[in-house]
Amino acid sequence: NAGVMQNPRHLVRRRGQEARLRCSPMKGHSHVYWYRQLPEEGLKFMVYLQKENIIDESGMPKERFSAEFPKEGPSILRIQQVVRGDSAAYFCASSPPRSSYNSPLHFGNGTRLTVT
Amino acid sequence: KNEVEQSPQNLTAQEGEFITINCSYSVGISALHWLQQHPGGGIVSLFMLSSGKKKHGRLIATINIQEKHSSLHITASHPRDSAVYICAVREGAQKLVFGQGTRLTINP
């Protein structure tokens, strides 16, 4: 049973380009969370999605960032017109449906985005 | 003041020493997680606690809900335990709030 798969592992973009980060949850999981880890900082919640629904996007920057989790395929975190401050590690985690307050967490290995 | 505070921020010890990392939080929580992150690597969930104590191999995690405090202990530490250890609390149904992490280095 494969874990949470994120790709690419490393992504380099020039300022102004778009970055697309993909996350395939564990088999049977329908809840996906995205977190960002800025250099030398702790992890911060960005967005929580279920299939075809954004449940909580309170941690997403208001502009340039969007996330989706379609009925088929991976969850996508999209950053338009990237700036140097977007350089960070982006982690995805998943949990099963009907998640309780005490569902364990399963993280991917992260995508390290570098904006040049 | 951060909602989740870890101490120490950095910890260096010799192989075999008993290690304690502390986590204090200021909000009501439904669960607390201890995570491990190796340099350049992914994040592994070590424990999820809502009360009491859990043990897995050389790792022990405790939580005191009344005092809003948790500790992670490592017995007979080994260089391969060197990593960043992160405390995270779950507020409400899903949202996690993370501590800044404790960077642990175990020297042979």
Summarize pLDDT for A18-73 with one digit per residue, the tens: 999 999 999 888 899 999 999 888 899 999 999 899 999 999 999 999 999 999 99
The sign one gets for the Cα dihedral A25, A30, A45, A34 is positive
Cα separation of B49 and B70, whole Å?
Answer: 9
CA angle at B45 for the pair A84 and A26, rounded to the nearest 5°: 80
Beta carbons of A109 and B35 less than 8 Å apart: no
Question: Which of helix, strand or coil describes residue A3?
Answer: coil
With residue A66 as reference, give the H or E element that holds it: strand A65-68
Chain pair A-B, CB pairs under 8 angstroms: 59
Nearest CB to A104 within list B30, B48, B98: B48
Contacts of B40 in chain A (CB under 8 A): 112
**Token pair listed for A93:** 């985690």
Tell me the Cα Rg of chain A: 13
Looking at chain A, the whole-number percentage of residues with pLDDT higher than 70 is 93
Beta carbons of B48 and A105 less than 8 Å apart: yes
Q: Which residues pair with B24 in a beta bridge?
A: B5, B69
pLDDT score, position B28: 78
Nearest CB to B42 within list A42, A56, A107: A107
Low-confidence ranges of chain B (pLDDT < 50): none
**Token pair listed for B13:** 């010890």
Nearest CB to A45 within list B31, B50, B96: B96
Cβ–Cβ under 8 Å, residues A90 and A21 = yes
Beta carbons of B86 and A43 less than 8 Å apart: yes
Q: How many residues does chain B have?
A: 108
Beta carbons of B86 and A110 less than 8 Å apart: no
Across the range A68-97, mean pLDDT stands at 94
pLDDT score, position A101: 54
